[in-house]
Copies of this chain bind each other. A is one copy, B any other.
Amino acid sequence: MAKISKTSPLAPKGGFPKLPVINGVRFSTIAAGVKYADRSDVMLAQIDAGSSVAGAFTRSSTRSAPVLDCQSKLGRVEDDSKGFAFLVNSGNSNAFTGGAGVKAVEAITSATAQTMNLPASHIYTASTGVIGEPLPFEKITNALGELSESLAADRIEDAARAIMTTDTFPKGSSATCEIGGIEVTVAGIAKGSGMIAPDMATMLVYIFTDAKISQPGLQDMVSRLNEVTFNSITVDSDTSTSDSLLVAATGASGAEVEGNETFERTLGVVMKDLAHQVVRDGEGATKFVEIRVSGAINNIDARKVAMSIANSPLVKTAIAGEDPNWGRVVMAVGKSGVHADRDRLSIWFGDVLVAENGWVSPTYVESDAAAHMKGEDLAIRVDLGLGAGQSIVWTCDLTHGYIEINADYRS
């Protein structure tokens, strides 16, 4: 596997943020030797009884065994006097491993259930790493004793590091809000450096809060927010077989947030920040790009246009080359398959109006747009001039670094 260990130039300055403790959640990690030597590769999160767990998963039709298992459990509470556990390993994705993959999930969940004294249906696992190789699950089950004895509330950064694969930096984020005079805290971690390949860069996200909310209420918020955060990013248009997002609300703060918009916004801040960090760690990325589409007939059309621009290799290579190549944006609008009128299109790079009314803008001076393209955080805006539909997606550029990581080695 490629050794691209240099931290992404787009990584948040200042390193991993100081994350607050979430009451009701404890973490531990261990170097179990699943694949990597000399680093932690399994993380356990213990979540207290009375918590709600919501989530979202890859829509791939070739989903991994752990994803299928998690999906079957979501929303079920077998024993409400019992909490939950998340167990995640890196180094092996247990994807496309046939019947052996299902058995490995069963072995890990039942051993974790026994060690933690929880029903197996309260155990959510995930695996990320190489695909098609049998998961050496005994290495994980043998480590459970030590994992369960070293749980601590302040070890979330260790957890963020244990789930990394080709990530160049660990990803964490937090936010707080006040609900009925009580401070509510949200903190989460993620891994992923693309949408992305099953053998390397699956996206996994774990978020925790001390807010009090029912499972359906939390699931509702998570599903809605997921669309405008993790489902609105793309590195290379490729979708992992293992992408998993889990959100646990322990209720330890006592703040009731059922249907509360302030809480939903706060959760959304953490989800968006983590989603952006995944793009900022996109394989080979040197530019972070917000694509904002407005004026479509509806939001679905706007999303299609935004994704068509964000996934276009020609747009992404132009961005890498710091080239304000609006012609490629026009092309990407045209190929998106949605209704567009060439003569109503307007395109901006940053604040610079580049094209309008089917041609280059009379006020356009290329050096203005070129100056914007030299930045690290870019914005491309397209207005279709047809309706009120809008969408925002985030992506990165396509560089030699992407080719190096994905082509210049034999797996």
A residues touching B (Cβ–Cβ < 8 Å)? Answer: 58-63, 95-101, 130-132, 196-199, 236-241, 311-314, 317-318, 320-323, 325-328, 330-343, 345, 355, 357-360, 370, 397-400, 402-403, 406-411
Asked whether, in the complex, the Cβ of A407 is within 8 Å of the Cβ of B411, the reply is: no
CB within 8 Å for A331 and B241 given contacts A400-B400, A400-B403 = yes
Which residue from chain B places its CB closest to the CB of A359 in the assembled complex?
B98
Asked whether, in the complex, the Cβ of A240 is within 8 Å of the Cβ of B331, the reply is: yes
Interchain residue pairs A-B with the least CB separation, the first 6: A62-B334, A60-B334, A98-B359, A317-B406, A239-B335, A317-B407
Q: How far is the CA of A311 from the CA of B311 in the complex (A)?
A: 11
CB within 8 Å for A198 and B328 given contacts A97-B359, A312-B238, A335-B60 = yes
Helix, strand, loop or mixed for chain A's interface? loop
Asked whether, in the complex, the Cβ of B402 is within 8 Å of the Cβ of A317, the reply is: yes
Q: Which residues of B contact A318 (CB under 8 A)?
A: 406-407, 411
Q: How far is the CA of A343 from the CA of B359 in the complex (A)?
A: 51
CB within 8 Å for A403 and B410 given contacts A96-B342, A238-B312, A331-B238 = no
Q: Of the candidates B59, B99, B313, which one forms a contact with A313 in the assembled complex, judged by CB atoms under 8 Å apart?
A: B313
Asked whether, in the complex, the Cβ of A132 is within 8 Å of the Cβ of B359, the reply is: yes
Which residue from chain B places its CB closest to the CB of A133 in the assembled complex?
B360
Asked whether, in the complex, the Cβ of A320 is within 8 Å of the Cβ of B403, the reply is: yes
Report A95 CB to chain B, min CB distance, Å: 7
Asked whether, in the complex, the Cβ of B131 is within 8 Å of the Cβ of A327, the reply is: yes
Asked whether, in the complex, the Cβ of B197 is within 8 Å of the Cβ of A314, the reply is: yes
Which of A60, A318, A332, A338 has the most chain B CB atoms inside 10 A of its CB? A60
Asked whether, in the complex, the Cβ of A403 is within 8 Å of the Cβ of B403, the reply is: yes
Report A114 CB to chain B, min CB distance, Å: 28
Which of A238, A318, A325, A338 has the most chain B CB atoms inside 10 A of its CB? A238
Q: How far is the CA of A400 from the CA of B403 in the complex (A)?
A: 6
Which of A99, A197, A337, A397 has the most chain B CB atoms inside 10 A of its CB? A197
CB within 8 Å for A61 and B342 given contacts A320-B407, A328-B198 = yes
Asked whether, in the complex, the Cβ of B62 is within 8 Å of the Cβ of A340, the reply is: yes
Which residue from chain B places its CB closest to the CB of A338 in the assembled complex?
B61
Q: How far is the CA of A402 from the CA of B321 in the complex (A)?
A: 12
Report A386 CB to chain B, min CB distance, Å: 11
Q: Which residues of B contact A58 (CB under 8 A)?
A: 334
Asked whether, in the complex, the Cβ of A411 is within 8 Å of the Cβ of B323, the reply is: yes
Q: How far is the CA of A240 from the CA of B342 in the complex (A)?
A: 14
CB within 8 Å for A313 and B237 given contacts A320-B407, A334-B62 = yes
